[in-house]
Amino acid sequence: MSHSAFTLVRPDARPTTSPTLAPEPSTEPGKRPLLTMTGISKSFPGVRALNGVTLDLYSGEVTALIGENGAGKSTLVKILTGIYQPDEGEIVIEGRPTLLPGAQAATEAGIAAIHQETVLFDELTVAENIYIGHQPRTRLGLIDWAIMNRNAARVLDELEARIDPTMRLKDLGIAQRHLVAIGRALSVHSRIVIMDEPTAALSHKEVEELYHVVERLKAGDRAILFISHKFEEVFRLADRYTVFRDGSVVGAGEMADVKSADLVRMMVGRSVDQVFPKTDVAIGPTVMQVRGFSHPTEFADISFDLHRGEILGIYGLVGAGRSEFAQALFGITRPSAGTVTIEGKPVTIRRPSDAIGAGLVYVPEERGRHGAVLPMSIAANIGMASLGRTSKAGFLDLARECQLARTYAERLELRASALNQPVGTLSGGNQQKVVIGKWLATEPRIIVLDEPTKGIDIGSKAAVHAFMSELAGAGLSVVMISSELPEVLGMADRILVMREGRMAGILARTNATPEKLVNLATGNETGAAA
């Protein structure tokens, strides 16, 4: 039992004598799914992440999983890799119902995931990174370097990666690191490979190499679940597709039968108008002008006008630089160039207090980390940016703070048992209301909301949307960063689309369609021409 790691990995399956990637003798390829998920549901407090989802994966085929952020893709991946347990539903692998109670069980079942950020170890060699956690051992229990290096070389050969297994990882480029991550997934004899947005951080040439690897994996008779936002690569690589929306499957089939417009339609749905209580507000004069706003690394040359009573949506894929832009505007990071004018006066914002003074506030995406001080009370959180008004000569007037907090708690229909309750004990939606309340208490002119409804339940979502309309109606200017198309289309008067740190375009509400937005955000050629 010198190769104990390998037998451990495959307790059930055909004995493997060497860790080659030779194709399994598959019966009727493409006919019977290698893996079937049926009726999978998963709920978290306040959110139903997956709702009776069905998914088939076939050996020798690439299945693309498509959906907006928050559609439930990551939850599905976490169920497949044993990190989450489904509340309902069944997973069948090769005809056998299978439970995946943990990461180890998923590995043993032959499932491997290559994540957006697979953890690799800079100071270890390529071979060590590939075999981390299941290094081949000598009889004395020491790591068998010779066998490990030889096996690693074989895994890398299979990927046609010309990487020396004895190199240290820190000496490799991003694409090569990616290959090492894939090699790790293959080293455990996985038959089902999940690739979660693998091209997100790669350059054009590196993407081509990755496509090649995917082709190799396909040829090795593996079933591949390929998660991507980019239609171009989905059409290039995938044989089948499954589209998620709001935790449910809204479409599945073969790529040959579908066009990119169909996929976009399925992804965003049609029920945009009913859900969003956007009220028509007379758009007033310009409140803020942003010109040539740039950052050394994250975004460049952002320019727009914001008007009184307007809701400006900022749409884009994750990583398009939207939050980075908003945070620079708010004074968290320093821009490298650009000017901001608020109500005709040029303003210099070096830190958030300057922005607040100029009437510009920012509701961050990460509520728990940036938005609220969770161990502190509702009253303290709502009053936190208004301490100047709830104090006399530097000393707190707790009665006034409570009064201020109550005013905004009630305006936002906060659900809490007392104002001295720690914010951390509230639900996500109510925490968000506390953060919004904190900013409204400063009586701002411009409020920037970064993914304001991410991870909160439908009821609170509707309340946040209604409230945004109310704010615009009261003469505030709202900037809403969102990755959810229905939200952007339903709430915004104009939509600024960002792609890779730059403005891809600004569309008026009347002119915006889901297809146009997705095409602008992804750089899909057909749309760029339109």
Applying CB under 8 A, the residues found at the interface with other proteins are 43, 45-48, 51, 246, 330, 332, 351-353, 355-356, 362, 364, 369-376, 378-380, 384-385, 387-388, 391, 394-396, 402, 406, 409-410, 413-421, 427, 429, 438, 456-463
Whole-angstrom CA distances from 304 to 85, 263, 307, 333 are 46, 31, 10, 20
C-beta closer to other proteins: residue 52 or 523 = 52
Given the complex with other proteins, which of 108 and 298 has the nearer CB atom? 298
**d(C-alpha 333, C-alpha 530), whole Å:** 35
Pairing between strand 240-245 and 248-254? antiparallel
User: SS3 of 447, please?
Assistant: strand
Please identify, using beta-carbon distances, which residue of 5 and 79 lies nearer to other proteins: 79
Q: Where do we find the tokens 């209301």?
A: 433
Count CB atoms within 10 A of the CB of residue 234: 21
Minimum distance from residue 270 beta carbon to other proteins (Å): 14
CB 198 to other proteins: min, Å:
30
Query: Closest separation between CB of residue 244 and other proteins, Å?
Result: 14
Q: Give the shortest CB-403-to-other proteins separation in angstroms.
A: 9
**Distance in angstroms (rounded) separating the CA atoms of residues 9 and 489:** 48
Nearer to other proteins, 93 or 416 (CB): 416
CB of 112 to other proteins, least distance (A): 32
**Rounded to the nearest whole angstrom, what is the least distance from the CB of residue 407 to other proteins in the complex?**
10
| Angle between helical axes of 174-187 and 145-158 (0-180°, round to 10) | 110
CB 375, min distance to other proteins, A: 5
CA pair distance 33, 28, nearest whole angstrom: 10
Q: How far apart are the first and last CA of the chain?
A: 63
Residue type at 392 in one-letter notation: K
Residue found by looking up tokens 């991946």 in the block: 77
Taking Cα atoms as reference points, which of 472, 410, 414, 413 lies closest to residue 447? 472
Looking at the Cβ atoms of 116 and 427, the one nearer to other proteins is: 427
- Which of 429/505 has CB closer to other proteins? 429
CB of 510 to other proteins, least distance (A): 29
* 478, β-bridge pairs: 311, 447
Cα 357 to Cα 352: distance, rounded to the nearest angstrom: 9
Asked whether 293 and 325 are in contact (CB, 8 A), the reply is yes
Smaller CB separation from other proteins, 84 or 362: 362
Nearer to other proteins, 164 or 354 (CB): 354
